[in-house]
Structure 1
Amino acid sequence: MIKHNLLLLYRNFRRFKGTFFINLVGLSMGLTCALLIWLWVSDELGVDKFHEKDERLFQVMENFYHDTGIETGAGTPGPLARALMEEMPEIEYAVAVVPAGMGQQQGVISVADKRIKISAQYAGRDFFNVFSYRLLEGDHNKVLADQKGVAISTALALKLFNTTYDVAGKTIGWNQGEKTALFYVSGLFETPPANSSNQFDIVFNYDLFLQDKPWLETWTSTDPRTYVVLREGASASQLNTKIRGFLKSKDKNIRETLFVQRYSDRYLYGKYENGAPAGGRIAYVKLFSIIAVFILLIACINFMNLSTAKASRRIKEVGIKKAVGAGRKTLIIQYLSESMTMAFLSLAIAVLATDLLLTPFGSLTGKQLVLRFDTSLVLTAIGITLVTGVLAGSYPALYLSGFKPALVLKGRMNKSTGEGWARKGLVVFQFAISVILIVSVIVAYRQMEYIQTKNLGYSRDHVIYFDTEKVSDALMAEIKTLPGVINAARFYHDLTGNHGGTYALDWEGKKPDDRIDFGNLEVGYDLIETMGFDLVEGRSFSRDFGSDEQIIFNEAAIQAMGLKDPIGKTVTIWNFRRQIVGVVKNFHFESFYEEVKPCFFFLVPMIDNTPSRIMVKIQAGSEKTTLEHLQKFHQRHNAGLPFDFRFMDDDYQKLYAAEQRVSALSQYFAGIAIVISCLGLFALAAFTAERRLKEIGVRKVLGSSVTGIVLLLSRDFSKIVFTAILIALPVSYLIATRWLGGFAFRVALEWWYFAGAGAVAMIIAWVTVGTQAFKAAKVNPVLCLKEE
């Protein structure tokens, strides 16, 4: 029987080549999408899961209460880790970490004549007991015990020593401006894997960071991150109850509260509302998982529809088999085996296609995805294929095996109204999903276009920035004289979300219960002019006045403080008195997910021969030559260090990297869904035209035109697609509204987004069906009636 069924399978595939090809292409495309999305989803779900103590590893988060609500942040007081370790018996380890790239931690490592610019990470001595970054040399308990000892990654060891063997004990130099110190390598760790959210190459002792910033020993500081490992059996919820008011027990004036969140959950659940986790990247993981399921369903629907549509060609086969004793179970197995064979053939093609598309797909998603045939992938692929095969073949198998032999041998087949409606319903489902995806593409594209073109309140075009070891007035003046440089300024905080913040600001008339979270942007002279901020009152920073006498606010800050005629008034910040000299128009210094918040520009005095970040505005069209001049300038003042510069526009784009990927991926997935749907519609139109050939011949003999016949054959399919559009539009409106609701600044939902999506779907359907209808209408009526 197996040999017999395989022979029948081969003959059916050869007999119905068109159907076989359409099903194979459709299922292959669906499975390819599913495999690619599964690889991406698996990678997202696996971020930070490699730590051995993952189930017990938590990050301490802090809730800040201010006038506009609760803001959750990762920064915690400097003494917190030590205090939690001493006072909370549930905690096995607690460690404070200042991540690489946070604050002014950049310096130069030197070994002999090699000099490498790098950002330092500072951590407590239990860092390698808390996190499972594999130590190749050194002891977990001792590697960060000595302030003169540092742990370096294998990647950094190769750069410094050209080897990863016996590097422990070797000496390196660390230079930050005028501060120079020697350290020895106390540990060597494997470079953090790609699925680690924390990427770093060097770890210094945390106490070194405290020496330079003694204010971090206060309970009102918020720079370090605090991580804890709970003891076996300890409850995170009970710990949350105990530590909620922990800060207030240290300082009665503190209103902030604490809670812990599982460390590996932070990557996917990094969004907070009212002081609690409320989604984040997990939304896109769920979104693309659903898209993968729907694309597979669309491919399966093609198989169901085409199999039932061609059932009329197989009724005699069914009748003969039943007449000679074949049971319904036997027939179901036969037809299911056809769908399973088709599914596994499609899987083979999908695996090849996935391997070919992995590199461009990885570039699109920003990940280094690898197709490894491990147990997880193999079982998942087989599982998806089995489900696809059963889903695609179940309805045709049950449908075909249910024919009555007496009727089918007479060439008759009961035309079930339910079967016709089921087929139409499946086509409606296919095109409804396609229309939803088209609307999603339009809305995502329009929102990304809005983000790219909206006036931010400053000009980010043709602006670069770079770090220099030493800065001075003479150096700044030299930069401004370089050909192609319009202006230049020092700055210490970015305009793309990486800024400081404080509540410690007082002004005349401030109410005792006012608690406003101000964004803090530390800058040098000429930044206002370099970036083109619009002054609505007052003036910019001037060298004619002392740096400790000037401060500039945005409109939102002046409004929040309730100040009238603010120019000339004095505020106190961090025990410094500053005079308000200017007010700039509101500008976006955070992403479009956030409302424009109160902020101020804090003028930082020049300290000669210290590291600094320099922002340069370049004349449009002269980028290449200007960068060459800047590179030569950098080499003169930073010997041996590469000229690492970045365009501000690139940083801005990174704020919306996830959204841009969603927009791009949606376009591809929408296109795939439409192609698969149209393949099925094309085949159904062909079968419909074939069944109605005699009717077409009679109509042509009686004088019907080609146009009339094309309209006749297209009418039913137009109704089906129109029904799909009516169902899809309200659903797509709800989805688009919910997605856009996450943005504080967003496009309005225009009617033409939905009308356009419906029109595109209808036109594609008309072209698909019309092609077959026109072909059928052109057939010679003599040939149509000849068989009679």
Structure 2
Amino acid sequence: MFKNNIKIAWRSLKKQPFFTFLNTFGLAIGIASAILIALFIYDELSYDKMFADAERIYRIDSDIKFGGAEMRSAEAAAPMAATMQRDFPQVESTIRFRDRGSLLLRKTDTETNAKELRVTFVDSTFFDFFGIKLLVGDKRTALNEPNTLVLTKTAAEKHFGVQNALGQSMLLNNTDTYTVTGVIDDLPKNSFLREHSVFMAMSGYADSRDPNWGSNNYFTFVKLIPSANVQEFERPLNGIVDDYIFPWAQQYFPGMTKESFIASGNYVNFYTKPLTDIHLYSHRDTEMSANSSIQNVYILSFIGLFLIVLASVNFMNLSTAQSLRRAKEVGVRKTLGSKKIDLIRQFLMESGLISFISLVLALILAILVLPLFNDLSGKSIAIPYSSPFFWALLLMGTVLLGLFSGSYPAFFLSRFVPVKTLKGDTQGDVGGGTIRNALVVFQFAISVFLIVGTIVVYQQLQFIQNKDLGFTKDQIVLVDDVFAVGDQTQAFKEEITNLSQVESSTLSFFFPTPSSRSNSSFFPEGSRSQENALQMQTWYVDEDYVPTMNMELIAGRNFNNDFATDTTAVIVNEATLKVLGVSPQEALGMRISQEAESETPQFNTIIGVVKNFHYESLRENIASLGLFFSGTSGMLAVKMNPGDFASTLANIEGIWNKFAPGQPFSYNFMDDSFNSTYDAEQRLGKIFVVFTILSILIACLGLFGLAAFNAQKRTKEIGVRKVLGATVGQITFRLTTDFLKMVGIAILISMPIGWFAMNKWLEDFSYRIEIGWWVFVLAALLAVGVAILTVGYQSIKAAVVNPVKSLRTE
């Protein structure tokens, strides 16, 4: 019977190639999309699970409010790790990371540097803590001594190969000599350490031994013992504030009590974050690597599910629509003794066959578009051909899809009454197509929802791109590692500024692009109490910083090299004035100091107020910031005149090679660095566009098939109407209107859902768009336009047929 059912199913599918194609192609698109989305989600959910005892590892996070600044940090103070190891019996081991940023690295006997983008200090427990094996070297001693480092395989191969690495001496930033004591394999792409290539011994970093509880710069992880309960561990964690942080702070604020600290609106709270949750659930002010969001996983999960359901709905719709054609077949089969269960089995066999054909096509499609999908999503996903679980899941999913898609048509067709169907009376069985109409409404409701989502994401990204940020980011190139020119920094800057293609340039470590920063506490003159503390970003800049970045001074003046007193001057932003409680004019001449504990503190005088500018993501509110006048050599920002940027960069590189021969010329455009903050949103926007188009395509395939069937079913009616004088336009309008009613209902259903969902998504941004009414109008017009184009073709095709031919149709 199985063989016979297969044979009959194959013949039935060949008999109606047009509808078979629509079903198969629609399902193939849905399955291929689901495969790609499932691989993406699996990759997202797999982050950091490869480390030993990952389920027992937690990061210590902190929420701090002090001096008017609120910080949600993923870092802790230097003494935190040792304190927990000593005071908490649940702690098996601890580890700290202190991000170093990028550096130049070379063998001591060479002149040419290579740039390593992500470098960190790390405790010697690194290897045992995460279960990381060394390709060469001894994990027991590799990071014990100061001035030692461990390289990843790729970093080692840049310089001397893996096997020759041990004992090599390397120069960091042309100044510090380190010895290579080990090489590890490249860290997985789905780990929080994926971008790091150099690990330096924490024992050589003096700040790591400072008992300073006020500076939170260390990513601190704990591994709990197997029997530990994380809730019981976290509960007394905040006791560290009473036992250690307040006694330390009272050295600088003798009159401070816990009650006065809390009464001022300040707080310090510690939390644990599971290692395996960091990538999707952590959005702290500082992170070791860029994280994604569980929201994106949910959104893509729903999109993948929707696409499969859309394709399945197509199958149901087209199969039930074809029921009139197969009504007599059902009647004959029942008359010859076929039972209802036999008919259900036969029709499910047909849907299963279509599902398996669609699976083959879907795999081919997925393989072909996977490189494009990786480029779109920023992943390196591969189809796991060798995984039995993958194939089992795929086959099981296909079987379930076949059963789900074919269930309603099978039960629907098998209930036909033989006497009626053999007489040609099937209208009662087929009914008014209520379920088919409901399925079409469902399809277009999803499509309209995705259209709304795509427009809102696009609008938010455009808002970010075009918002007045308070500074100029266009036509500015950032030249890295200027310290490599040694004591010729000013000469290097002047020679570049003198280029005809360059408008101005400025030296600083700090720019409004993604980078590692920290706050410092300041106190107005005459006050040393914690109630009046000002928590503020400290950026060191030169006299050309404000004009080059095109920032607006709303009071006071810029730095001036001719004024010796400017070495102790500061320019603050508007957010600082809000904390100080003064106006821009009142702020001028005020003096602030970091040295609250000193009897003779050094003061910085406010000489200017700059208009607020967005130096963090638009997800964050603008906080206090001070620009301090100081000669620095971190990066050179070059503002270029409009024209041939390639020629300008070539000239800048030529000057670089003159001042820093053998050093890598590294640069990036400021607008690119700024945009990288929103990589996740940009990728989400592109993914929305692609899968919205696919959902509309699938919905249109079904609508196209239903329109063709509807026109075919009403052939005689159309002929009669034409004989009685109906025009082609009137007939087309009548055939099209029936479907537009369903699209209209879908629009009404999807609009409030789309508004609610996208408003929730926008809540992540402190600065965001308002969803305008026109978004929904545009989405509705697009849906109606697509429906008209899809249905209109079949309607016009039916309306222009000769009525004589229509009336002869059986």
CA change 1:293–1:312 in 2 (3 A) is same
Q: 1:449 aligns with which of 462, 480, 490?
A: 462
CA–CA distance in 2 between the matches of 1:635 and 1:241? Answer: 57
Q: Give the structure 2 partner of residue 225 of structure 1.
A: 219
Q: 1:173 aligns with which of 170, 175, 181?
A: 170
Cα distance, 1:411 vs. partner?
2.0
Partner SS state of residue 477, structure 1 = helix
CA–CA distance in 2 between the matches of 1:116 and 1:685? Answer: 64
CA–CA distance in 2 between the matches of 1:547 and 1:126? Answer: 46
CA–CA distance in 2 between the matches of 1:516 and 1:381? Answer: 58
CA change 1:337–1:301 in 2 (3 A) is same
Q: Amino acid of the residue matched to residue 355 of structure 1?
A: I
Pairing of 1:472-551 with structure 2 (within 5 A): 472-498=489-515, 500-502=517-519, 504-508=521-525, 512-514=530-532, 516-543=534-561, 544-551=563-570
Q: Amino acid of the residue matched to residue 551 of structure 1?
A: V
Contact 2:136–2:166 (CA<8 Å) still a contact in 1? yes
Deviates more, 1:675-684 or 1:249-258: 249-258
Q: Amino acid of the residue matched to residue 458 of structure 1?
A: F
Q: Amino acid of the residue matched to residue 599 of structure 1?
A: L
Partner SS state of residue 124, structure 2 = coil
CA change 1:251–1:71 in 2 (3 A) is closer
CA–CA distance in 2 between the matches of 1:744 and 1:160? Answer: 45
CA change 1:196–1:638 in 2 (3 A) is farther
Are 1:115 and 2:109 counterparts? no
Are 1:366 and 2:378 counterparts? yes
Which digits, 9 at most, give the CA deviation of each residue in 1:179-209, with x for residues without a partner? 332x332111001111122221121110212
Pairing of 1:319-398 with structure 2 (within 5 A): 319-373=331-385, 374-398=387-411
Contact 2:79–2:209 (CA<8 Å) still a contact in 1? no
Q: Give the structure 2 partner of residue 262 of structure 1.
A: 274
Q: Amino acid of the residue matched to residue 644 of structure 1?
A: S
Q: Give the structure 1 partner of residue 196 of structure 2.
A: 200
Are 1:141 and 2:143 counterparts? no
Which digits, 9 at most, give the CA deviation of each residue in 1:576-607, with x for residues without a partner? 4100011011111111111222211133345x
Are 1:649 and 2:675 counterparts? no
Q: Give the structure 1 partner of residue 744 of structure 2.
A: 722
Q: Amino acid of the residue matched to residue 324 of structure 1?
A: L
Pairing of 1:84-99 with structure 2 (within 5 A): 84-99=84-99
Q: Give the structure 2 partner of residue 153 of structure 1.
A: 152
CA–CA distance in 1 between the matches of 2:419 and 2:602? Answer: 99
Q: Give the structure 2 partner of residue 62 of structure 1.
A: 62
After TM superposition, the score normalised by the length of structure 1 is 0.94
Contact 2:522–2:533 (CA<8 Å) still a contact in 1? no
Are 1:128 and 2:127 counterparts? yes
CA change 1:324–1:197 in 2 (3 A) is same
Partner SS state of residue 216, structure 2 = coil
Partner SS state of residue 65, structure 1 = strand
Which digits, 9 at most, give the CA deviation of each residue in 1:373-422, with x for residues without a partner? 22332233223322321221111011111112222222222525876211
CA change 1:600–1:15 in 2 (3 A) is same
Q: Amino acid of the residue matched to residue 493 of structure 1?
A: F
Contact 2:76–2:220 (CA<8 Å) still a contact in 1? yes
Q: Give the structure 2 partner of residue 292 of structure 1.
A: 304
Q: Give the structure 2 partner of residue 742 of structure 1.
A: 764
Q: Give the structure 2 partner of residue 592 of structure 1.
A: 618
Q: Give the structure 2 partner of residue 568 of structure 1.
A: 589
Q: Give the structure 1 partner of residue 629 of structure 2.
A: 603
Contact 1:245–1:258 (CA<8 Å) still a contact in 2? no
Are 1:467 and 2:481 counterparts? yes
After TM superposition, the score normalised by the length of structure 2 is 0.91
CA change 1:545–1:386 in 2 (3 A) is farther
Cα distance, 1:742 vs. partner?
2.0
Deviates more, 1:692-701 or 1:241-250: 241-250
CA–CA distance in 2 between the matches of 1:422 and 1:83? Answer: 66
Partner SS state of residue 196, structure 2 = coil
CA–CA distance in 1 between the matches of 2:630 and 2:731? Answer: 79
CA–CA distance in 2 between the matches of 1:187 and 1:376? Answer: 37
CA change 1:539–1:69 in 2 (3 A) is closer
Pairing of 1:239-278 with structure 2 (within 5 A): 239-252=233-246, 255-271=267-283
Partner SS state of residue 690, structure 1 = helix
The gaps in structure 2 that reach 5 residues or longer are: 250-266, 286-290, 596-600
Q: Amino acid of the residue matched to residue 579 of structure 1?
A: T
Q: Amino acid of the residue matched to residue 190 of structure 2?
A: N
Are 1:556 and 2:570 counterparts? no
Contact 2:539–2:627 (CA<8 Å) still a contact in 1? yes
CA–CA distance in 1 between the matches of 2:208 and 2:413? Answer: 80
Cα distance, 1:256 vs. partner?
2.1
Cα distance, 1:479 vs. partner?
2.6
Q: Give the structure 1 partner of residue 185 of structure 2.
A: 190
CA–CA distance in 2 between the matches of 1:517 and 1:495? Answer: 18
Which digits, 9 at most, give the CA deviation of each residue in 1:621-670, with x for residues without a partner? 13112211211222223222221111111111111111111111111111
Deviates more, 1:285-294 or 1:131-140: 131-140
CA change 1:227–1:371 in 2 (3 A) is same
The gaps in structure 1 that reach 5 residues or longer are: 274-278
Cα distance, 1:508 vs. partner?
4.4
Contact 1:248–1:256 (CA<8 Å) still a contact in 2? no
CA–CA distance in 1 between the matches of 2:417 and 2:135? Answer: 73
Aligned residues: 770
Partner SS state of residue 223, structure 1 = strand
Cα distance, 1:501 vs. partner?
3.5
CA–CA distance in 2 between the matches of 1:15 and 1:366? Answer: 44
Tell me the C-alpha RMSD between the 2 structures.
Answer: 2.1
Partner SS state of residue 25, structure 1 = helix
CA change 1:417–1:356 in 2 (3 A) is closer
Cα distance, 1:333 vs. partner?
1.4
CA–CA distance in 1 between the matches of 2:785 and 2:648? Answer: 51
CA–CA distance in 2 between the matches of 1:698 and 1:576? Answer: 98
Partner SS state of residue 382, structure 2 = coil
Contact 1:111–1:160 (CA<8 Å) still a contact in 2? no
Q: Give the structure 1 partner of residue 6 of structure 2.
A: 6
Partner SS state of residue 504, structure 1 = strand
Q: Give the structure 1 partner of residue 727 of structure 2.
A: 705
CA–CA distance in 2 between the matches of 1:263 and 1:157? Answer: 28
